[in-house]
Structure 1
Amino acid sequence: MFADSDFRQDSKTAGDDGLGPDTPKRQVLIAPPLAPELPPASREGLSFLTVVAIIVLAGLAHLTGAPIFITIGLLATGLGGLMMHLRNQRTERRAALLLDETAARSRAEIETLADRMWEMQESEERFRGLIDALGDLVVHRDRDGHIVYANKVFASLVDTDQRDLAGKTLSELGIDVGVVPDAAFSDHECLSSTDVAIRTPNGPRWFSWIELSVRDRDTGAVSHRAIARDITARKRAESSLITARERAEYASQAKSRFLATVSHEIRTPMNGIMGMAKLLADTDLSPEQRTYVGAVSTSASSLLALIEDLLDYSKIEAGRFDPEPQPTSLREIADNIIELLAAKAFSKNIGLGCHVEPDVPQMITADPGRVRQVLLNLIGNAVKFTDAGGVLLTVSRARSESADRICFTIADTGPGLREEDMERIFEEFEQSDGTSTRVHGGAGLGLAISKRLVIAMGGTISVSSRLGEGSEFVFDIPATAATEPPQYRRSILSDRRAVIVSRNAVEADAIARTIRAHGGGVEIAATPDQAAAFAAGCNVLLVDAALENSDGRLLKRLRQSGFVDCEAVTLIAPADRGMLGEFRANGYATFLARPVRGETLLRVLLTSHVPAPAEPQPQPRGATSARRRDQGLSVLIAEDNDINAMLARATLLKAGHRVKIVGNGKAAVEAVTDAGLKHRFDVVLMDLHMPVMDGLDAIAAIRRHEEALAVPPVPIMVLSADSQEKTRHTVLAHGASGFVTKPLDPDALVQAVESQAAA
């Protein structure tokens, strides 16, 4: 037994600890009585009197002469009662001790429970304080959506007393976070995560709202717990960024339109400069005058190339570059680029070669224009910076289980790059020679444009170099929808053994690699004496025309040194085509034009045992023009710029065609519709931008007239300085037959007109 007054006093003292009214106070607990209390004295007095009475009765019985058994019985009863009394006292004493121990333990447990409840209360207060201090909204709702608990931050946000929130729903407070489906409830599953706008007295605020389901382990009841973080500042920043991006896009579009307009305006006078320089070069000029005309043409070409780079870079920078995949022949692209840059390479007396591995697909799906542009930039740069040796293009295929790619490698023997140059060579307006006295011109945009184009096509580009030993640029693109080459290509030259006699190591190496890749044998010699060692077994002799004399002495010497039965093929530069007759007369069976096309090389080697037909002798331009005048085409030119019109007229007249010029689209429509079938034009050249009626409207009017009369459509070629793909598609969609880009190249113009008329 124990008195609970001490516990009451302790509890009271704990409650009156001097803390302020807002400080959480310890709860006062009063323990119930542990056992009913009996008056110990009365219980002990009853037992003692009973024993005394029995003993007294035993004595009286003995004194009165009562039977002995009565005396003995009473005495035994008294002694037994005394023993029982003593035993009961001992038992009660033990019970009291046990009860005291139990009471002490219970009191200790109650004290412990009280302490734990106090700690839990403190922990809860700390937890709530932490939740409020974080600044996040915390809302606990039951399954029906009624608020069970909400922190002070939420109450302050909705301007409601925290105690008044219990039982309300979010919709009653003007907050819509959507309906949570019952099927979504599971232990701690994220039901939703969304951005929610909440109206407040200070205006709307944005929160990142996350809903969680919470299941009670004991009852299985499921409730909502929401945590929301204020993202108003982020939303405002996003809005500012969107506005800034829209403004930047608008500025970029305005810049692109400006560049396109300026490009058109620049191309128009450039067309006159380049075209007139070309026509002037075909007249009788003194050597000094010819030098000046050449300088004008070179300067105009350089300026035009710079304009093209600036336009391409502007389009890529503005994100307006979209690849246009279509079936593409890599061999044709590679050969065309090499031929295009051959004149520049030969003028520097350096070699230019191309080798395409046999396993390269016949066709892939890619953007041929962009592949051509990257190759033109990289090979053009290599030719520009190489003053000795040459440039070699290699096209190969890299296949693995996860990828199939086409690799282009451009290796040169130029000055090479320093380590620091290789790190920045693909940046805008950078060149390896960044000094103000640099030898080579250019704006430094070609490589930057090439890198962006390659990345846009899904490829990579890199460079490796050693100073003084040349550079090697490598880029790759996916081999999408590849058309596999025939398997027999690897062995089609198995019965051919060739010897190349040339001092141009780069071109000779390209030819040799092509022959070996297709199963043939080949050796390279720089002199006739070196070639003599390879005469045995040779059946094809390839001789650089630059080593041959006009009388064929080199070939005669080679014949004498063992190449008796070999068919001789001369490797001739375009400038030396006029000497083909002399080479044939001296014993050469046929020729290969430098730089050598891979497919042409294979065809010549496969047919080298068959006598080649005689090549037609080149004729002067005057003879060709005379023939054309007898059957010249009737061409209508619609051009408002007098210089451009005069240039096109002079070019076509020189080619033997008849020309009529009008100054606007309306006049062009009238000229075509009034001509009739008997005097109809064979080709119409239509400028895109003209007064009165522009080119597109004129084309549409002409096509409507032809459709109404059911007459064949006249070929209409659009003349424009706007070289964008979008413009090409637009004019073709309006009924144009083709597109000619300004500045006009006289030869290209004549070829375009004649091909359209023939079609």
Structure 2
Amino acid sequence: MADTDVTRTGEAQPDDASGRYYPDQLMLRYARGRVRFFAQRQILTVLGSGMLWLIDGPVAGLLALCLALAGEAVDCLYLRGMKPRLAAGTPLIRAQRISTLTAVFQALTISLCVSLAWFGALGQLSLLFPVAFLAGAAINAGIVLPYNRPAGYARLGVYAVTAVIFAFHGAIHTADSLAVLAVDLSGFAIMTYIVIAFVGFVGLGFERQRHYFSILAEQTRVQARTNEALRQREFEARRLTTAVRNANDSVVVAGPDGRITWANAAFTRITGYELDEAVGRMPGDLLNSPNTDPATIRAISEALRKGIPFRGEILNRTKWGGEIWMEVSQVPVVESGAGGRPDMFVAIERDVTLAKRQARELAQAKQAADDAARAKTEFLATMSHEIRTPMNGVIGVSDLLCDTDLTQEQRDYAETIRGSAQALLKIINDILDLSRIEAGKMDLAPEPFDLRHCVDGALKLVRPQAQKKGLALEVRVGPDLPDRVKGDDGRLRQVLVNLLGNAVKFTEKGAVNVSVDIRPEGRGWRAEIEVRDTGIGIPPEQQAAIFESFTQADATTPRRFGGTGLGLTISLRLVQAMSGDLTVTSEPGQGSCFRLSLPLDRAEAQAPPPRTGKKSPDEDVSQLEGLDLLVAEDSEVNRFVMERFLNDTGMRLRFAHDGGQAVDMVVQRMPDIILMDMSMPVLSGIDATREIRSRPGRQPIIVALTANAFDDDREACFAAGMNDFLSKPVGRSDLIECLSRWRGQVAEAPEA
């Protein structure tokens, strides 16, 4: 007998109907059915044993009963523990094999019982009795065949072999007539057919039932998925509804005609209109302000008409008359089967009034900052010009004075004037450099240069101060230093001069050591330069502050050593602009070490330029004899300085007091070279240059001579047609060098 009410465990859920037909569940149902219907099966066993008792005596009957019960007991004892075995992990195939062995044992005991009856009463029993008994046992085995096929087929095999043995034995040894034998064999055949038909019917019924449960299980799963999807949609709908109702942004739902059908609480909070006041109204009729942009209104109406999204900003009016800026995102919602036409519109509106006001204030602040930056630039340009112009006279006259025969006291005074003017010039240059950096106008000019020569040039500038203080200035250059690299030689030299100048300034005794190393990095080089001193050192808490503008390590430093505190700030900004790094390590009382790490490009292989050395002043001056020079300068002091600088050169000097006079003098007689100040009355140097360049014929060399030191001023000079640029204050050697450089091109001056 089989148990058809077993709940699947392990693989299938309780509501999974198809789980009843998984292999492990079939095995459990087989075991449960065999155990449950043990007593019912013994009815046939008792009847057979009783029949054997009557035919062959009590010993044979009891022996048959014991054999049958022993077989059933072995089978049921094993099957009773099937569920815990499978739960404990016993492989299903092993359980099937053992259950097959117990089934074979149980079938053999039945066959032995029937054999006792047949052979014990040989000749007294009809063949139909043992065959019928075996047929009953086979039908019982066939009932459970679908649940454990190996065990079922094993039982059927045992019964079939036993029945065949009985048939052959009866046919050979029976004394009955052929007619009786034929009847017995016919009965045997009918029983066999009945058994086969019954087993087939049971199998077919089992398959139908399994198919039905499979369909039921699939329907159950589909329904479960549908119910889960429905629950999920309901949950999402509730969550979305809650989110929309409590959203901080206004949410408005409109029908296909654009009229409001629903709005959330934020709509009421922002606009002041209750839901019943808004339903059925067009949003524009309700909220548009007289100041609302008509183009925006038309764009929203067009989006509603065409059923397309709209996103933009609109100025709305609240119920209490105030105006608010709203950022609107309006989208059409099209449901399936709607023919492509929206059946509603959803608009999400965010109040951006505060953001618009902040943006406006930010724009105003930016404009104010730009105006302040322009004012600062104009102030610096004016300051530069107004200070450099008299400084040109101070430095120029002090240079002239130092070249005269003076007493030692007079020379000390003159040297003090010149040194003070140079110090003031450095302060002005530092402030201008910082202004350029902050304005983002510090342009780099990378070109091939000799790194060793760059370092030597910086050392040459600070060596006099080091010798004056008795400091040793020591240099170590790495053996792998290439002849030429590519970078901004001028800016690197400026940084080195700042670092070396500080080292000398803050060191009273000892030495300043410079080391230069370089290593390959990518396609270029990485230069590592250290400037180490034995000076006063920097406290750890002040080491970061020294790179800030107008900051020094100690408040007493400016009084003791002087300086503005801009040198390291400018140096760090320049190094960072060149993609490098500048760091410091220091110990108070022991000294400081500044490390400069800078990437440099490889320079194209070429021979270094010959070092001819600078020509002597007398040699330079000799080249200038005979040149016709026009100096356009409105400052009487600067004209005096230019005349004193050049009166021994043999040049023909002429002076113009303003730009207009300079143009007239060029018309009267074309000079070879013009020194042109940029800021003059009547015509500026720029306008005068343009006027000169616009005239036909031979053109002079024009060199800007100006106190304006910004890059924009330099570019303006070149754009107007000038050939060179000298920034005031100009020393005599720089002036002579510039004139000598252009002397050879005077004859080749272009025509307009």
Work out whether the TM-score is over 0.5.
yes
Aligned counterpart, 2:742: 756
1:729 aligns with 2:723: no
Q: Deviations over 1:705-742 (max 9, x none)?
A: 2xx12x2x211111111111110110111111111111
- Residue deviations 1:470-511, cap 9 Å, x none? 3232344554xx335669x9xxxxxxxxxxxxxxxxxxxxxx
Partners in 2 of 1:454 and 1:472 — Cα distance?
A: 16
Asked if structure 1 preserves the Cα contact closer than 8 Å seen for 2:259 and 2:282, the reply is: yes
Task: Check if 1:351 corresponds to 2:473.
Answer: yes
Matches within 5 A, 1:3-152: 135-140=248-253, 147-152=260-265
Partner residue, 1:394: 516
| Maintained 8 Å contact 2:444/2:488 | yes
Where do 1:615-654 residues align within 5 Å?
Answer: 624=619, 627=622, 631-654=625-648
Q: CA 1:140–1:451 in structure 2 vs 1: closer, same or farther (change >3 Å)?
A: farther
* 1:264–1:721 CA contact under 8 A, matched in 2: yes
> Match for residue 422 of structure 1?
543
- TM-superposed CA distance for 1:129, in Å, is 8.4
Partners of 2:411 and 2:456 lie apart in 1 by: 31
Pick closer, same or farther for the CA change 1:147–1:742 going to 2, 3 Å. same
Residue-by-residue CA offset, 1:569-608 (whole Å, 9 max, x unaligned): xxxxxxxxxxxxxxxxxxxxxxxxxxxxxx89xx99xxxx
Distance 1:197 1:407, change over 3 A: farther
1:298 pairs, out of 413, 419, 429, with 419
- Give per-residue Cα distances to partners, 1:217-265, cap 9 Å, x unaligned: 9999997654443232232122112212211221221122122112211
Separation of aligned partners in 2, 1:180 and 1:339: 76
- Residue 504 of structure 2: aligned partner: 383
Q: 2:447 aligns with which of 327, 340, 348?
A: 327
CA distance in 1, matches of 2:515, 2:381: 33
1-structure distance, mates of 2:483, 2:336: 66
2:544 aligns to what SS in structure 1? helix
In the TM superposition, what are the counterparts of 1:233-272 in structure 2 within 5 Å?
233-272=354-393
- 1:682 is aligned, of 662, 665, 672, to 672
Change (3 A) 1:433 1:159: closer
- TM-score w.r.t. the length of structure 1 is 0.56
- Give the 3 Å change call, closer, same or farther, for CA 228–471 of structure 1 in structure 2: farther
SS of residue paired to 2:316: strand
Contact 1:379–1:391 (8 Å) recurs in 2: no
2:647 aligned counterpart, secondary structure: helix
Shift in Å, 1:311: 2.3
Q: Is the 1:360–1:395 contact (alpha carbons within 8 Å) kept by the matching residues of 2?
A: no
Q: What's the secondary structure of 1:312's corresponding residue?
A: helix
* Cα deviations by residue, 1:31-73 (Å, 9 ceiling, x for unpaired): xxxxxxxxxxxxxxxxxxxxxxxxxxxxxxxxxxxxxxxxxxx
What is the CA-CA distance between 1:269 and the residue it aligns to?
A: 1.2
Task: Provide closer, same or farther for how the CA distance between residues 273 and 437 of structure 1 changes in structure 2, counting only shifts above 3 A.
Answer: closer
Is the 8 Å Cα contact of residues 689 and 695 (structure 1) preserved in structure 2?
A: yes
Within 5 Å, give how 1:209-220 maps onto structure 2. Answer: 209=328
Q: Give the direction of change, closer, same or farther, for the CA distance of 1:131–1:334 in structure 2 (3 Å limit).
A: same
User: What do residues 104-152 of structure 1 show as CA deviations (whole Å, max 9, x unaligned)?
Assistant: xxxxxxxxxxxxx9xx99x97x997886665421234578866553214
Kept in 2: contact 1:335–1:354 (CA 8 A): no
Contact 1:665-1:693 at 8 Å conserved across structures: yes
Cα 1:249–1:147 shift into 2, 3 Å: same
Counterparts of 2:593 and 2:577, CA distance in 1: 21
Change beyond 3 A, Cα 1:298–1:484: closer
Q: Report Cα offsets for 1:593-624 as digits up to 9, x if no partner.
A: xxxxxx89xx99xxxxxxxxxx99998x6x65
- Is 200-209 or 297-306 further displaced after alignment? 200-209
Check 1:142–1:376 CA distance in 2 against 1; reply closer, same or farther (3 A cut). farther
Contact in 2 for aligned 1:665/1:692 (Cα 8 Å): yes
Distance in 2 (CA, whole Å) between partners of 1:181 and 1:407 is 68
Q: Tell me, in whole angstroms, the C-alpha distance in 1 between the residues paired with 2:531 and 2:602.
A: 24
Identity %: 32
2:562 is matched with which residue? 441
2: CA distance, partners of 1:203 / 1:652: 77
Q: How many equivalent pairs are there?
A: 496
Distance 1:457 1:467 in 2: 30
Q: Which amino acid aligns with 2:694?
A: R
Q: Quick check: 1:360–1:485 contact (8 Å CA) kept in 2? A: no
8 A Cα contact 2:515 2:531, kept in partner: yes
The answer to whether the Cα contact below 8 Å between 1:139 and 1:151 also exists between their aligned partners in 2 is: yes
Give 1:340 deviation, angstroms: 3.6
Aligned equivalent of 1:464, options 585, 595, 600 = 585
> Which of the two has higher C-alpha Rg?
2
Aligned partners of 1:353 and 1:391 also within 8 Å:
yes
CA distance in 1, matches of 2:314, 2:478: 60
Local SS of the residue matching 1:640: coil
Structure 1 window deviating more from structure 2 (457-466 vs 219-228): it is 219-228
Q: In the aligned structure 2, how far is the partner of 1:617 from the partner of 1:152?
A: 85
Gaps of 5+ in 2: 1-230, 289-295, 746-752
User: 1:439 is paired with a residue of what secondary structure?
Assistant: helix
Is 131-140 or 460-469 further displaced after alignment? 131-140
Give the counterpart letter for 1:642 in structure 2. E
Residues 629 and 672 in structure 2, CA contact (< 8 A), matched pair in contact too: yes
CA distance in structure 2 between the partners assigned to 1:262 and 1:195 by the alignment: 47
- Judged with a 3 Å threshold, the aligned counterparts in structure 2 of structure 1 residues 437 and 668 are, in CA distance, closer, same or farther, namely closer
Distance 2:542 2:574 in 1: 21
Letter in 1 for 2:267: F
Q: Any stretches of 5+ residues in structure 1 without a counterpart?
A: 1-116, 186-190, 490-598, 605-614
> Structure 2 vs 1, CA of residues 618 and 625 (structure 1 numbering), >3 Å: closer, same or farther?
closer
Matched-pair contact (CA < 8 Å) for 1:341–1:380: yes
Q: Following the alignment from structure 1 to structure 2, what is the Cα–Cα distance between the partners of residues 203 and 437? A: 59
Structure 1 distance, partners of 2:421, 2:513, is 26
CA contact (8 A) 2:514 2:529 kept: no
Q: Secondary structure at the match of 2:690?
A: helix
2:324 to 205, 212, 217: 205
Aligned-partner Cα distance in 1 for 2:714–2:602: 28
Bigger mean CA deviation after superposition, 240-249 or 210-219: 210-219
1:661 aligned residue (651, 655, 658): 655
Partner of 1:103: none
- Picking from 675, 681, 699, the partner of 2:689 is 699
Residue type at the aligned position of 2:703: M
TM-score w.r.t. the length of structure 2 is 0.57
The one-letter code of the counterpart of 1:422 is Q
Superposition deviation, residue 343 in structure 1: 3.6
The alignment partner of 1:323 has SS state of coil
Q: Which residue in the other structure is 2:228 paired with?
A: none
Q: Distance in 1 between matches of 2:371 and 2:477?
A: 45
| Residues 1:281 and 2:402 aligned together | yes
Give the helix-richer structure, 1 or 2: 2
The root-mean-square deviation of aligned C-alpha atoms, in Å, is 4.4
From the superposition, tell whether residues 673 and 433 of structure 1 become closer, same or farther in structure 2 (CA, over 3 Å): same
